[in-house]
Each structure stands twice: as C-alpha cells, then as structure tokens.
Amino acid sequence: MFSKQVLPSSRLRLTEQERPPSWYPPKRAGPFLSWFTVGFTVRGRLKLSLHPCIGRLKLSEISLHRIENFHLWQLYSTRREMMRKAHARAELQVEEAPFNAKNFLGHPDTQSAFCCQEPLEAGLNEKILLHGTSYENAHSIIMHGFDPRVTARGLYGGGVYFAASACKSHQYTCQQHKPWSGYSKGCACKTERTVILARVAVGDAHHATETVKRTDRRPPARDLFERYDSTVADAGPMTNHSSGWQTHQEFVVFTQEQAYPAFVAQYVLS
C-alpha cells in the first residue's frame, strides 16, 4: 500500500477537487524523518509515574508519507467551522489543553512543521497527535477517516484515541500482542508497525478525573444544553483505573470528522 521509496515531494495543499480521492506522496525533504525518529527515543510519561512504559524506541526502518484526501479534509474543515459557531453561540472561551510530558509532538516547532503550512488553530485546541494501528486499519482510515463506531471501547468512552507520546501509540501497532492481552507496555517485536499522525480539533475538552462506562459514545455534558467536544485523560492519579494511575496523556474524540489523517508512518524496531 505505502511505497518504501522515499522521495522529495512538493509543497502540497488540500484545495483541488480534481485530485484523486486519496494518495500519499512520500516525505524525505526537511527534518520530518529525523523528527519522527527522535520522537521514538523520548519517554512520553511523566517522570513521577510509577507505571513505566516501554519507553525509548530505536527504529531501523522508516517510511513517512503525507496523506492527501480532499473529501476528508473538507469534512474536517466543516466540522471545525461548526465548532467555532457552537463556541460563539455559547460565548465559550476554550481553555488550552496542554501536553503533560516533554515529547517531540509537544514542541511548538514540531507541531507547526507537521501542519504543512495550514496553521493549527489555537482557539480550537487543534493539535498534531499520534494514532497507532494496523496496516489494514490504516488503509481504511486514509480512505474513509477515523470511525468511532468501530473502535475498541476504552477507559474514557467509545471514541477514537490519540496520544502525543510515541511509546503510547506503539502499544497498538503489533498485531500479535495487543495491549489488553498482557502487553500493556508494548512489545519489542521486529514486525512492521503503522502510526498515523493526525490533525485533531480537541476543542473544549473535558479533563477526566475517573474512567467511565466503556459503552459511552459521546463526551460528557458541559451543562444542561451542551456537551464537551472531547475528553482528555491527563497523566496522573485516575479514579476507577485498574492501577489508580493514568500513565500517558490521551485525547479522545467521538465525532468522525473531528480528526484528519495527515501523515502515515511505517517503522521497524532495530
């Protein structure tokens, strides 16, 4: 599906309808690959965490492709506009949802680099985040977007989960060892892994203080009339969590159009 050939690509914008439904020019120009590699060598958890993850990962092979899907981009852009209008109606001042730990996606330069000349909107808490998945699922996401209806139901509801830490997204990339099968820290299998870098409009986020029913497929209510745009599980103590602690920060959205797959990366551990 994704060419292993990594060649320079031109500066591309998602504005032309005559382009194919989805295609992915390979990326080597600039520091993209080096940033991605460095991202896997940084632990994405708080230093005071008592529940370590697999931590620093070394990669032997990487391919990184930018995704061009005009239809998904239009849906994402429309969703952002709807969020802006909803916030204006509610006279809502969206508070920032900052990154918990130091990692490569938490750096402003990295966020701006991966936005590809389409600035991230601070008023919508728009961020570049990671989503670890399988090769087959990545193809579906590239073509049709993130679909909360078919996701595994996590600790903070049945949405689509994203992370800023590579060591967290890595946990979901091995098709042999799933996180819920005893490999919660990830594994070191030398199989090909797939990670998607997505633009996510986090918006007005509910900061979770406890886990919720896994059947919930919408964010918590903000008041009698409105709901939050997303849920953020910050690293730290977490009520009802099996360990009592959330190791990595996670971002959860419950609407398909609230995230756009911007890059797809494949890698093998060295």
Please give the share of the chain, as a percent, with pLDDT higher than 90.
Answer: 39
**Would you call 47 helix, strand, or coil by DSSP?**
coil
Is 197 among the domain residues? yes
Is 23 among the domain residues? no
Q: How confident is the model at residue 126 (pLDDT cuts 50, 70, 90)?
A: very high
According to the model, what pLDDT value does residue 31 have?
A: 56
Is 122 among the domain residues? yes
Indicate the helix (H) or strand (E) that contains 32. helix 32-39
> Over 60: is that where the pLDDT of 15 sits?
no
**CA atoms of 73 and 85, how far apart (whole Å):** 19
According to the model, what pLDDT value does residue 14 have?
A: 37
| Alpha-carbon radius of gyration of the chain | 18
According to the model, what pLDDT value does residue 96 have?
A: 92
Q: What does pTM read for this prediction?
A: 0.83
According to the model, what pLDDT value does residue 125 have?
A: 96
**CA atoms of 257 and 74, how far apart (whole Å):** 9
As beta bridge partners, residue 200 has: 127, 259
φ, ψ of residue 61 to 5 degrees: the values are -140, 140
Report the CATH number at residue 244: 3.90.228.10
Is 13 among the domain residues? no
- Total structural domains within the chain: 1
Q: How confident is the model at residue 39 (pLDDT cuts 50, 70, 90)?
A: low
**CA atoms of 203 and 200, how far apart (whole Å):** 9
Is 1 among the domain residues? no
For residue 80, the enclosing domain spans 32-269
According to the model, what pLDDT value does residue 85 have?
A: 96
> Over 50: is that where the pLDDT of 218 sits?
yes
Q: Name the token pair of 200.
A: 């996510």
The whole-number average pLDDT for the span 218-246 is: 91
Is 19 among the domain residues? no
Is 108 among the domain residues? yes
Q: What are the pLDDT digits (tens) for 150-205?
A: 877 789 998 999 998 888 888 888 877 765 444 445 677 888 889 999 999 999 99
Is 168 among the domain residues? yes
According to the model, what pLDDT value does residue 171 have?
A: 87
CA–CA distance from 207 to each of 95, 130, 222, 224, 253 (Å)?
11, 19, 11, 18, 12
Mean pLDDT for the chain? 78
> Over 90: is that where the pLDDT of 121 sits?
yes
Q: What are the pLDDT digits (tens) for 40-87?
A: 655 444 343 334 455 566 777 778 888 889 999 999 999 999 999 999
The whole-number average pLDDT for the span 227-237 is: 94
